[in-house]
Amino acid sequence: MSRERILVIEDEADLREVLTYNLTREGFKVSAAADGATGLELAREKKPDLILLDLMLPDVDGLEVCRRVRQDPTLGTTPVIMVTAKNEETDVVLGLGLGADDYISKPFSVKELIARVKAVLRRQTHVVDDDTRQALRRGPLKIDPARHVVELDGDDVRLTATEFNLLHFLAARPGRVYERDTLLRRVLGEDAIRVDRNIDVHIRSIRKKLGSHRDLIETVRGVGYKFSESA
């Protein structure tokens, strides 16, 4: 059995211990840091399969940690789950924009947290449909699910795991319109977070990375999104 590695970055000692204890008991290999700078160091050293990131941290805060993880070529696609307090909704939207994959609000049950961790890890390794595993070409875009790589005019585009799955799902079905709820369910999984703007934030981020080809993903007003048929 391969033990997936989880990095917990949390300054509250009690919570850090509870998380470490329970995740270890679930079979994960856990490292823990009490502040952002140590967390980043450990991330680079341990190359975790997932980072559980508290937003309110002394020194380097969670959003900055998330930004630096995404900018680090060796960590760029590592899934990040943000741990937030109830009043940090704005930070959640910012964090999802920075490429965090999911969030969980304090207080949460350990059971809920572990379900979330497993769902994000599953999403990371699972491509949405088995019938679309071969590389797709759509105009300037090449999406290779086997290598988890996207190229635009021959240049690598760096997407988070969630962005990759979303783009791949839409591009595999050009012209078909999907509602936001359907995309949440199909791409993020049944237990995906239910923040209205969640899909919109991911789409905005993908479009930004597509630059002048941003219109490959079309907004269907009042309904949702589709991948352009003309690509």
Contact between 11 and Ca ion per CB under 5 A: yes
Q: Which of 4, 49, 54, 101 binds Ca ion (CB under 5 A)?
A: 54
Q: Which two tokens stand for residue 114?
A: 């572990």
Longest dimension (CA), the chain: 55
Stretches 53-61, 67-75, 104-112, 148-156: which one binds Ca ion (CB under 5 A)? 53-61
Range in contact with Ca ion (rule: CB under 5 A) among 4-12, 108-116, 131-139, 194-202: 4-12
Q: Is 56 in the site for Ca ion (CB under 5 A)?
A: yes
Write down the H helix ranges in the chain: 13-25, 36-46, 62-71, 89-97, 110-125, 161-171, 180-183, 198-210
**Smallest separation, CB 92 to Ca ion (Å):** 15
147 Cβ neighbours under 8 A, 6+ residues apart: none
Residue 110 or 231: which CB sits closer to Ca ion? 110
Which CB atom, from 58 or from 175, has the smaller least distance to Ca ion? 58
Question: Quick one: tokens of 63?
Answer: 């959003």
- Residue 18 makes contact with Ca ion by CB under 5 A: no
Cα–chain-centroid distance for residue 192? 11
Q: Which residues bind Ca ion (CB under 5 A)?
A: 11, 54, 56
